[in-house]
Amino acid sequence: MTVANAKGIYNDLLKYFAIRQDKLFILITSPPQVVNDTDAAHSANARGLSTWLAKDWLRGYAYRNVAVFDFYNVLTSNGGSPNLTDLGLDSGNHHRFRNGAIQHVQSVANNMAAYPSDEWDSHPNPVGNVKATAEYIDLLNIYYNCWKGTGDCPGASGFKVDGVWKTTGGESVYFQTYQTGEAICLVSKDGKVITAYYASKMAGMVFEGGDIPTSGRSSMLRLTFSSAIQATGVRTNMSTGQQDNLTLGMDSTASVNATSDGIWQATADRSQNFYLQRYTNGGAILLWSNDAQTCEVFYDPAATPNHIVGTGMFTSQPVSIDFTITNSTTGTVVRKPGSGSTTTWPVTRFSNAAADAY
């Protein structure tokens, strides 16, 4: 098996982990081997895979129910011999909680077992097991409390919020952020009623904005994201002042395509805006808005990287849209109503989707 094949298997596992957020999964990397069990090339591959798992595997994974302990790295340095530990030392190879942050460090260039039972037995000796246990226990406590929402997640610079959220009241909330600091939010229920909001990022992880109505502004929405899987909201009726409190949970994360996702505008008429977002299930949503006065929403369940063919989600009359992406900055959108004239817009991408966590 190649390293690339192994990475593919681990990436496939995330699809299952994402639908079992009631469980906490902790991956412990394979321990290093002794010189008599491996060679420089294979041990370097093992190091590369373990480092990738610890540092890169979970990039883009929106939930907090998966974590990694780099058992391999921890067992590749000692205090000078297999029976001397470097537990607690500044130097050495570690995966631990130290000085208020999670540390994954390697100061010793070694890919072989530093705590072997003997020269032919790669199993870690008691000294190595004590070091690994001590570093793991602290991380386990952090991972558990991060997953349960009862503690912070040290080392996390932020989290992604793009995707489909579900409210406890049965509404679906489609949320997409852009590099401009703005966001589009679509709220639907029973596949029939929809309200589109154009929001701006406020302080912290708060987004607020008004709806995109047929005429006149009727409501405001304020969403506060506490994590990648939990949020609350307040929806205010601008006529009556009535407020609805919302509790939301992440249902399906967005899968950002750097080449195409974002805000597109008609080249000859900048009032025609097209908001494109993809999801991990392979589908894509394209919202068309004419200068924030009206909107139509189209869904393609099997979008390709360069082609979106969507049908109207909440329209009273049949309508479809065909979006061909020429490259990362240009494309063509064709709107086809059930009756009436077809409209074609050459388009230019105005803003990329926000691919990184906030």
Helix (H), strand (E), coil (C) string for 125-185: CHHHHHHHHHHHHHHHHHHHHHHHCCCCCCCCCCCCCCEEEEECCCCEEEEEEECCCEEEE
CA distances from 313 to 121, 299, 327 (A): 62, 6, 26
CA distances in angstroms from 102 to 20, 94, 117, 294, listed in the order given: 25, 10, 29, 48
Amino acid at 141: N
Whether residue 195 contacts residue 237, with contact meaning beta carbons closer than 8 Å, is answered with: no
Overall pTM surpassing 0.75 (yes/no)? no
Q: Whole-angstrom Cα distance, residue 262 to residue 275?
A: 6
What's the pLDDT score for residue 214? 44
Taking only the tens place, the pLDDT of each residue in 127-171 is 999 999 999 999 999 999 888 877 666 544 456 788 889 999 889
Percent of the chain with pLDDT strictly greater than 90? 44
Report how far residue 288's alpha carbon sits from residue 4's, in angstroms, rounded to the nearest whole number.
39
Residues of the chain with pLDDT under 50: 155-157, 214-216, 356-358
Residue appearing with tokens 């950002």: 256
Q: What is the pLDDT of residue 193?
A: 55
pLDDT tens across 323-347, in order? 999 998 899 999 998 888 899 999 9
Distance CA 78, CA 87 (A): 8
Q: What letter does residue 36 receive in the DSSP assignment?
A: G
Measured N-to-C along each axis, helices 40-55 and 3-18 cross at an angle, to the nearest 10 degrees, of 20
Residue that is written with structure tokens 């990694």 in the block: 68
Q: Tokens for 157?
A: 């610079």
- For residues 112 and 76, is the Cβ–Cβ distance under 8 A? yes
> Among residues 71, 75, 32, which one has the least CA distance to residue 53?
71
